[in-house]
Amino acid sequence: MTLYDISMEIYEEMTVYKDRKKKRPKRKITHKYAVNGTNESKITLGLHTGTHIDAPFHMLKDGETIEKIDIERLIGKVRVLDLTQLYDRITADDLSKKKIENGSFVLFKTRNSLSNGFNRSFIFLEKSGAQYLEEKDIIGVGIDSLGIERSQPGHETHKILMENGCIIIEGLRLKDVPEGDYMMYALPLKIRGGDGAPARVVLADLKNE
Protein backbone atom coordinates (compact mmCIF):
# COMPACT_ATOMS: atom_id res chain seq x y z
CA MET A 1 0.00 0.00 0.00
CA THR A 2 1.31 3.45 -0.95
CA LEU A 3 0.46 6.40 1.29
CA TYR A 4 0.46 10.02 0.18
CA ASP A 5 0.46 12.73 2.83
CA ILE A 6 -1.18 15.60 0.92
CA SER A 7 -1.12 18.08 3.80
CA MET A 8 0.89 21.28 4.14
CA GLU A 9 3.37 21.67 6.98
CA ILE A 10 2.44 24.37 9.48
CA TYR A 11 5.27 26.74 10.40
CA GLU A 12 5.76 30.47 10.87
CA GLU A 13 6.96 31.33 7.34
CA MET A 14 4.56 29.03 5.50
CA THR A 15 2.54 30.08 2.46
CA VAL A 16 -0.75 31.71 3.45
CA TYR A 17 -3.67 33.18 1.51
CA LYS A 18 -2.59 36.26 -0.46
CA ASP A 19 0.75 36.16 1.41
CA ARG A 20 -0.79 38.25 4.18
CA LYS A 21 1.69 38.41 7.05
CA LYS A 22 -1.10 38.60 9.64
CA LYS A 23 -2.39 35.23 8.45
CA ARG A 24 0.86 33.42 9.22
CA PRO A 25 0.95 31.20 12.32
CA LYS A 26 2.80 32.41 15.38
CA ARG A 27 4.64 30.03 17.68
CA LYS A 28 5.96 30.80 21.15
CA ILE A 29 8.31 28.58 23.16
CA THR A 30 6.96 28.35 26.72
CA HIS A 31 9.31 25.70 28.16
CA LYS A 32 12.87 24.73 27.23
CA TYR A 33 14.34 21.40 28.17
CA ALA A 34 17.57 22.94 29.49
CA VAL A 35 15.61 25.14 31.90
CA ASN A 36 12.32 23.34 32.61
CA GLY A 37 13.11 19.72 31.82
CA THR A 38 10.50 19.73 29.03
CA ASN A 39 9.99 21.33 25.63
CA GLU A 40 6.61 23.04 25.26
CA SER A 41 5.21 25.69 22.97
CA LYS A 42 1.95 27.25 21.91
CA ILE A 43 0.75 28.26 18.48
CA THR A 44 -1.71 30.86 17.22
CA LEU A 45 -3.19 30.30 13.79
CA GLY A 46 -6.33 30.90 11.76
CA LEU A 47 -8.75 28.05 11.25
CA HIS A 48 -8.20 28.28 7.49
CA THR A 49 -4.42 27.90 7.66
CA GLY A 50 -2.68 25.44 5.35
CA THR A 51 -4.59 22.28 4.49
CA HIS A 52 -8.01 22.78 6.03
CA ILE A 53 -11.68 21.93 5.80
CA ASP A 54 -14.30 24.67 5.48
CA ALA A 55 -17.40 24.33 7.62
CA PRO A 56 -20.66 25.59 6.07
CA PHE A 57 -20.72 28.21 8.86
CA HIS A 58 -17.77 29.86 7.08
CA MET A 59 -20.10 31.18 4.37
CA LEU A 60 -23.66 30.43 5.47
CA LYS A 61 -25.30 32.38 8.28
CA ASP A 62 -26.84 29.31 9.89
CA GLY A 63 -24.41 26.77 8.49
CA GLU A 64 -23.08 23.74 10.34
CA THR A 65 -19.89 24.19 12.36
CA ILE A 66 -16.84 21.99 11.92
CA GLU A 67 -17.36 19.63 14.87
CA LYS A 68 -20.80 18.67 13.52
CA ILE A 69 -19.54 17.36 10.17
CA ASP A 70 -19.99 13.59 10.04
CA ILE A 71 -16.46 12.16 10.15
CA GLU A 72 -17.58 9.17 8.07
CA ARG A 73 -17.94 11.53 5.12
CA LEU A 74 -14.24 12.35 5.38
CA ILE A 75 -13.00 8.76 5.35
CA GLY A 76 -13.70 6.92 2.13
CA LYS A 77 -13.05 6.61 -1.58
CA VAL A 78 -12.04 9.67 -3.58
CA ARG A 79 -11.01 10.29 -7.18
CA VAL A 80 -8.05 12.54 -7.98
CA LEU A 81 -8.60 14.39 -11.27
CA ASP A 82 -5.56 15.70 -13.14
CA LEU A 83 -6.41 19.19 -14.41
CA THR A 84 -2.85 20.48 -14.76
CA GLN A 85 -3.52 21.43 -18.38
CA LEU A 86 -5.72 24.33 -17.21
CA TYR A 87 -4.30 27.83 -16.78
CA ASP A 88 -7.08 29.86 -15.18
CA ARG A 89 -10.22 28.15 -13.91
CA ILE A 90 -12.16 24.88 -13.75
CA THR A 91 -15.47 25.07 -15.57
CA ALA A 92 -18.41 22.74 -16.11
CA ASP A 93 -17.06 21.98 -19.57
CA ASP A 94 -13.70 20.91 -18.13
CA LEU A 95 -15.38 18.61 -15.59
CA SER A 96 -17.73 17.07 -18.16
CA LYS A 97 -14.65 15.58 -19.86
CA LYS A 98 -13.74 13.66 -16.71
CA LYS A 99 -15.30 10.54 -15.25
CA ILE A 100 -17.18 11.86 -12.22
CA GLU A 101 -19.71 9.54 -10.65
CA ASN A 102 -22.82 10.79 -8.89
CA GLY A 103 -22.40 11.03 -5.13
CA SER A 104 -18.60 10.77 -5.22
CA PHE A 105 -15.78 12.80 -3.59
CA VAL A 106 -13.30 14.44 -5.98
CA LEU A 107 -9.92 16.13 -5.56
CA PHE A 108 -8.57 18.57 -8.16
CA LYS A 109 -4.87 18.36 -9.01
CA THR A 110 -3.99 21.57 -10.86
CA ARG A 111 -0.95 23.68 -11.67
CA ASN A 112 -1.28 25.05 -8.14
CA SER A 113 0.48 21.91 -6.91
CA LEU A 114 3.56 22.68 -9.00
CA SER A 115 4.47 25.73 -6.90
CA ASN A 116 4.92 26.18 -3.15
CA GLY A 117 4.34 29.94 -3.20
CA PHE A 118 1.08 31.87 -3.39
CA ASN A 119 -0.07 32.77 -6.90
CA ARG A 120 -2.77 35.43 -6.96
CA SER A 121 -3.97 33.94 -10.27
CA PHE A 122 -4.34 30.45 -8.81
CA ILE A 123 -6.52 27.91 -10.60
CA PHE A 124 -9.99 27.91 -9.03
CA LEU A 125 -13.38 26.26 -9.37
CA GLU A 126 -15.64 28.61 -11.28
CA LYS A 127 -19.36 28.94 -10.55
CA SER A 128 -20.34 26.75 -13.53
CA GLY A 129 -18.05 23.99 -12.26
CA ALA A 130 -19.67 24.17 -8.83
CA GLN A 131 -23.11 23.91 -10.43
CA TYR A 132 -21.95 20.85 -12.39
CA LEU A 133 -20.81 19.18 -9.16
CA GLU A 134 -24.11 20.10 -7.51
CA GLU A 135 -25.99 18.33 -10.31
CA LYS A 136 -23.79 15.27 -9.66
CA ASP A 137 -24.67 15.38 -5.93
CA ILE A 138 -20.96 15.36 -5.11
CA ILE A 139 -20.42 14.80 -1.38
CA GLY A 140 -17.09 16.59 -1.27
CA VAL A 141 -14.43 18.40 -3.27
CA GLY A 142 -10.80 19.21 -2.54
CA ILE A 143 -8.40 21.52 -4.33
CA ASP A 144 -4.69 22.32 -4.22
CA SER A 145 -5.12 26.05 -3.63
CA LEU A 146 -5.72 27.90 -0.37
CA GLY A 147 -9.12 28.97 -1.66
CA ILE A 148 -11.54 27.15 -3.92
CA GLU A 149 -12.51 30.37 -5.69
CA ARG A 150 -11.28 33.87 -6.46
CA SER A 151 -12.71 37.03 -7.99
CA GLN A 152 -16.34 35.93 -7.82
CA PRO A 153 -18.96 38.19 -6.22
CA GLY A 154 -20.71 36.79 -3.17
CA HIS A 155 -18.49 33.68 -2.93
CA GLU A 156 -20.75 31.87 -5.41
CA THR A 157 -18.75 28.64 -5.62
CA HIS A 158 -18.61 28.20 -1.84
CA LYS A 159 -22.31 28.85 -1.43
CA ILE A 160 -23.45 26.60 -4.29
CA LEU A 161 -21.47 23.71 -2.80
CA MET A 162 -22.25 24.36 0.85
CA GLU A 163 -25.96 24.83 0.30
CA ASN A 164 -25.95 21.38 -1.30
CA GLY A 165 -24.14 19.84 1.69
CA CYS A 166 -20.83 19.45 -0.17
CA ILE A 167 -17.65 19.34 1.94
CA ILE A 168 -14.80 21.63 0.84
CA ILE A 169 -11.12 20.87 1.47
CA GLU A 170 -8.54 23.51 0.54
CA GLY A 171 -4.74 23.64 0.57
CA LEU A 172 -4.00 20.10 -0.65
CA ARG A 173 -0.58 19.15 -2.05
CA LEU A 174 -1.09 16.79 -4.99
CA LYS A 175 2.07 17.19 -7.07
CA ASP A 176 3.19 13.58 -6.61
CA VAL A 177 -0.26 11.97 -6.76
CA PRO A 178 -1.28 10.39 -10.09
CA GLU A 179 -4.86 10.68 -11.32
CA GLY A 180 -6.94 7.79 -10.04
CA ASP A 181 -8.92 6.34 -7.15
CA TYR A 182 -7.79 6.34 -3.51
CA MET A 183 -8.95 5.94 0.06
CA MET A 184 -8.89 9.29 1.82
CA TYR A 185 -8.50 10.00 5.52
CA ALA A 186 -9.18 13.69 6.21
CA LEU A 187 -9.34 14.55 9.90
CA PRO A 188 -10.04 18.16 10.94
CA LEU A 189 -9.41 19.37 14.46
CA LYS A 190 -12.62 19.03 16.46
CA ILE A 191 -13.13 22.71 17.32
CA ARG A 192 -16.50 23.51 18.84
CA GLY A 193 -18.24 26.25 16.87
CA GLY A 194 -15.45 26.39 14.30
CA ASP A 195 -15.97 27.88 10.84
CA GLY A 196 -13.25 25.54 9.62
CA ALA A 197 -10.23 23.62 10.90
CA PRO A 198 -6.73 22.57 9.85
CA ALA A 199 -6.64 18.92 8.80
CA ARG A 200 -4.15 16.11 8.16
CA VAL A 201 -5.19 14.54 4.87
CA VAL A 202 -3.73 11.24 3.67
CA LEU A 203 -4.46 9.17 0.57
CA ALA A 204 -3.95 5.41 0.40
CA ASP A 205 -3.39 3.74 -2.97
CA LEU A 206 -4.80 0.25 -2.50
CA LYS A 207 -4.22 -1.03 -6.04
CA ASN A 208 -1.17 -3.09 -5.13
CA GLU A 209 -2.61 -4.76 -2.02
> CA 118: distance to chain centroid?
15
Radius of gyration of the chain (CA): 17
Query: Does residue 25 have a pLDDT over 70?
Result: yes
CA–CA separation, 27 and 44 (whole Å): 6
Query: Please, what's the b/e burial string for 127-153 (b: 16 or more CB within 10 A of its CB; e: otherwise)?
Result: bbbbbbbeebebbbbbbbbbbbbbebe
How many residues are there in the chain?
209
- For 154-194, the pLDDT digits (tens) are 999 999 999 999 999 999 999 999 999 999 999 999 999 99
CB 165 within 8 A of CB 188: no
pLDDT at 74: 97
Tell me the CATH number for domain 2-7+46-205.
3.50.30.50
Residue ranges of the domains in the chain? 2-7+46-205
